[in-house]
Amino acid sequence: MQVNPSPRQFEFTPEQLQLLQSHQGQAIHIPVAETNRVYLLVEEGLLPTLDEDYIRRGLAHAAEQAAQGDEREWDPEEIKAAGRELLAQRKHQN
């Protein structure tokens, strides 16, 4: 993706445009491993929704991690603390 002088404008490469066209108006989920976030690319004016395929991919990924032993004990307090920290960071950024 090429960034124009305005930080809010992007120009897609020909390959990216081809990918967009191949999805025929469907939302595209773009995972960013470095931030552990998934971005949703949708055409302006279309309401983004979670689709079953996206949920299935997430569950398949989790199953792969479990099969490889990439799991640990569930700790609700740790999860809540991480959520509070993330919320505080987001509030600080705004």
Per-residue confidence (pLDDT) for residue 20, from 0 to 100: 87
* pTM for the full predicted model: 0.41
For residues 9 and 66, give the distance between their C-alpha atoms in angstroms, rounded to a whole number: 40
Q: How many domains does the chain have?
A: 1
**Mean of all residue pLDDT scores within the chain:** 82
Per-residue confidence (pLDDT) for residue 6, from 0 to 100: 58
What does the pLDDT average to over 17-36? Answer: 87
Q: Where does the pLDDT of residue 24 fall: very low under 50, low under 70, confident under 90, or very high at 90 and above? A: confident
User: Residue 46 above 60 pLDDT?
Assistant: yes
Q: Where does the pLDDT of residue 23 fall: very low under 50, low under 70, confident under 90, or very high at 90 and above? A: confident
Which range marks the domain in which residue 77 is found?
2-93
**Residues 28, 19: contact at Cβ < 8 Å?**
yes
pLDDT tens, 70-88?
887 888 999 899 989 988 9
